[in-house]
Structure 1
C-alpha cells in the first residue's frame, strides 16, 4: 500500500515566459499574480497524458468522464474534472488544464500552463513501470519486495529525498513558486477498505500512519527548502486531512457513501446513478464533487502563501 506514496503531485505556478517546440520552460515569477500552472504527478492530476501511451493505465472510456462536459471520457481518472483542473480554475487561469501529450494541444495553451502528470507514475521507477490499473491491495504484494530493503521510516525518507531533488531541478530551471500535494489517507481508499476479510470496511490504520509519516516529512522538507532556496516559495497542500474530513463527516457535504466507489469495483460493477453522493469515484480516486468540496480552501491557501 505504501507504493502509492511514491507518487508525487506538484504544481509549479508562476509566469511562463518562453517555450520551445518541446516545451522547454524558461519561467519568471510575478510577485502577486499567478499566470501559469504546471502539474506533475500521477492519476490525481493526469488530464489525459496516458491516452496515447502504450499502457493499460488508461481511463478514456465509459463510465469515466460521465459527468464531464458532453459526457466525454478524456483520460481523467474520475467522473468529471479532476484536481488539477480545479486548481487552474481557482487561480483564474482556465477551467480545464490540458494534457501536454494531447495531440490537440496548441501553442496558445502553453503560456497559461499544462499538465505533465501521468496516471500510474511516481517517484520510484518501480511504480512508473507498473503498466496497468493496480487495485490497492495488489500494491501490497508489490511492496513486499521493497520492505525487505527498507523500513517504513527509511523508505519515506527516500521518497522525500526524491521529491527534494525534483523540486531543486525545477528551481534550477527558473521555477520559484511551488504547491506540493501530500498523499491521500491511503487506508481509507475503497480499494483498501474492500480487502477480502475486512467485512466492516474499516480504514487501515497502518496504511494511514504510513501516509501521515510521509506527509509530515514532506511538509518539514518544504519548510526547509523555503528557507534555503533564495526567492522560492513552497506551500504544502494537505490532501490527507482535507479528504479525511469528508470521509469522517460525509453528510455535512451531502455524501452518503465513503467506503465504496461509485464505479469500477466488485461492489459496484454497474456505475451508481449519482456520483455526487459518493466521496470516491472508483477504488482510489475521489469523485468530482469531492474535489469541488475541498478545493476552495486549498485555493485560498495557495494564493495566500504564494503571493
Structure 2
C-alpha cells in the first residue's frame, strides 16, 4: 500500500502548524504512515459494524452473508479468501496500517487466544448487521448488541493480559471505528420493507440514529474515548441499487441517496451532541458520502474507468454468495471503484480512506 497523502484542510495555517509539530510514531510493521502530534500514542484499532469492516467474523456463522470463498481475496497476499468483502483489504486494515499499528486487523474471536493481536486491536463487525435490531435478524448475523457483548469479553481478556490500568489506557487511546447504517436503509427499510408498516423515512432515520447514539454511549461507558462514527455512502449509487432502483439506464437511485443524506445529517447532529457532553472524549462523525460521490462523478480524476458496476460477474447485482468462483471477474480490479455490487475494491477503499484520514485525523488528538 502506498503511503497516504494529506488533502488540503480548510484552514491552511492550522494544517501547517499541525504538520510541523507532528512526528511519526512506532508500529509493528516499521512505523506509522500518517503524522500524529508529539507524544500521542494509538495502541490499537477496534472496529464494530457491518461488512465494510467485517474481517471474517461471519465465516463461522450460519448465514449467506459471507466472503470466505473465491473470488473474494483474489488480490490478498498470499492469495486467500479471508472473509473480507473485497478483492483484498478493508478500511479497517488500511487505517491500522496507516497508524503504524499492524498491517491487518483480525476478526474476533479468531484471535481470542493471541495476546499480541488482542492488545493491538480486533474487529467485531458482522456483515449484514446494522443499528436496527431487526436488520441482523434478516440474514442471521451478529447484532450490534452481540458485538457489544463480545467487546466486553475482549476487555476481560485484555485485563488478564496487561492488567486493568493498561487496559483502560488501551481503550481510551485506541481508535474505535463504528461503521453501520447502510444495511438498515438498503435492506431493512427499502428492500425487505419490514419497517415501512410503522415508519416513514423520517421516523426510521430517527430510530437508527437513536440506536447509533446509544451504541456509541455504550462503548464510551466501557472506556472508549476516540470514536469514529462513519456515515452512510451514497447508497443509491451502489451498483445493486442502480440495478434495482435506477431504471432502464441504471442511474443512481434518488430516493436512496436522499435517505442516506437525511440519515447522515441526523447522525452528525447526534454525534456532535454526544461529543459536547463527554469531557475528554473525541467522538467524530466521518462523512464518506461526499468524497465517495465525488469519485463516482469524476472517475478519470481518480484513475478509474468503471464506477457503476462491480468487478465480479456482470457487476450489476452480485454480492456475497452471488459473487462466486463460477463467475468471471474483470481483468483489472484497479480500474473499478466497486468490487461487487455493494463493496469497493481495494483501490476504491484506499482512495476513500486517503481522503478520510487527511481530513479527520487531527480531530482525534
- The two structures have a TM-score, normalised by structure 2, of 0.71
Moved more, 59-68 or 292-301: 292-301
Contact 1:265 / 1:282 at 8 angstroms: preserved in 2?
no
Deviation at 1:103, TM superposition (A): 5.4
The answer to whether 1:78 aligns with 2:86 is: yes
Structure 2 residue 83 is matched with structure 1 residue 34: no
Partner of 2:9: none
Structure 1 residues 103 and 172: alpha-carbon distance in aligned structure 2, compared to 1, 3 A threshold? closer
The alpha carbon displacement at 1:302 in A equals 3.6
Match of 2:271 in 1: 222
Q: Structure 1 residue 131: deviation in Å?
A: 2.1
Distance 1:177 1:104 in 2: 23
Q: Do the aligned partners of 2:306 and 2:335 also contact (CA within 8 Å) in 1?
A: yes
User: CA 1:204–1:31 in structure 2 vs 1: closer, same or farther (change >3 Å)?
Assistant: farther
Cα pair distance change 1:301/1:234, threshold 3 Å: farther
Q: Is 1:298 aligned to residue 356 of structure 2?
A: yes
The residue that corresponds to 2:8 in the other structure is none
2:224 corresponding residue in structure 1: 175
Q: How many angstroms does 1:146 deviate by?
A: 1.0
Unpaired stretches in structure 1, ≥5 consecutive residues? 1-29
Q: Please give the root-mean-square deviation of Cα atoms over the aligned residues, in Å.
A: 2.2
Bigger relative CO (Cα 8 Å, ≥ 6 apart): 1
SS of residue matched to 1:289: helix
What residue ranges of structure 2 are gaps of 5+ in the alignment? 1-37, 142-182, 319-326
Of 282, 286, 293 in structure 1, the residue corresponding to residue 340 of structure 2 is: 282
- How many residues align structurally? 276
Q: Which residue of 2 aligns with 1:199?
A: 248
Runs of 4+ in 1 over 6 A off after TM superposition: none
Does the 8 A contact of 1:190 with 1:261 survive in 2? yes
Aligned to 1:45: 53
160 and 139 in structure 1: CA distance in 2 versus 1, 3 angstrom threshold: closer
* 1:271 aligned onto 2:329: yes
Equivalent residues in 2 for 1:234-249, closer than 5 Å: 234-249=283-298
Deviation (angstroms), 1:197: 7.4
Distance in 2 separating the partners of 1:200 and 1:258? 14
